[in-house]
């Protein structure tokens, strides 16, 4: 069966420090991968999505970047964190291709920038 893991689960970082959140999917190949951010415990904002290795689409201009170095690995990064980067970050995957289908979310990473 397919599983998705993301880490770390929680982190507290000072303003200006770097960030790296990692997500891996097991049990499937060539998944579509997504990074969402959830601020203030509510709405899900799509940050990045990827339909293949090295293919990253950015949804909003921001202080973050994403990379997909391997088929089932998706990384969210920042060189210098801002206070506004605080939030709950969720990685997700869906079956490859344009067919409609369910999004499967990781456990989430709660980031607090101080």
**What is the C-alpha to C-alpha distance for residues 29 and 14, in angstroms, rounded to an integer?**
36
Closer to another protein at the Cβ: 26 or 107?
A: 107
Does residue 102 interact with another protein by CB under 8 A?
A: yes
**What is the C-alpha to C-alpha distance for residues 105 and 91, in angstroms, rounded to an integer?**
6
Among 1, 14, 29, 41, binds another protein (CB under 8 A): 41
DSSP letters spanning 53-103: TTEEEE-S-SS-EEEEEETTEEEEEESS--GGG-EEEEEEEE-SSSS----
For another protein, which stretch binds (CB under 8 A), given 21-29, 69-77, 79-87, 101-109? 101-109
Does residue 49 interact with another protein by CB under 8 A?
A: yes
Report how many residues bind another protein under the rule CB under 8 A. Answer: 21
CB of 46 to another protein, least distance (A): 6
């Amino acid at each position: 069966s397919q599983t998705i893991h993301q880490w770390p689960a929680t982190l507290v970082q000072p303003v200006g420090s770097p960030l790296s959140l990692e997500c891996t999917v097991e049990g499937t190949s060539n998944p579509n991968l997504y990074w969402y951010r959830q601020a203030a415990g509510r709405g899900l904002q799509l940050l990045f999505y990827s339909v293949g290795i090295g293919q990253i689409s950015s949804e909003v201009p921001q202080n973050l970047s994403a990379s997909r170095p391997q088929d089932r690995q998706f990384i969210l990064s920042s060189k210098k964190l801002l206070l506004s980067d605080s939030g709950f970050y969720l990685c997700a995957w869906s079956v490859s291709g344009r067919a409609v289908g369910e999004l499967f979310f990781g456990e989430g990473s709660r980031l607090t920038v101080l």
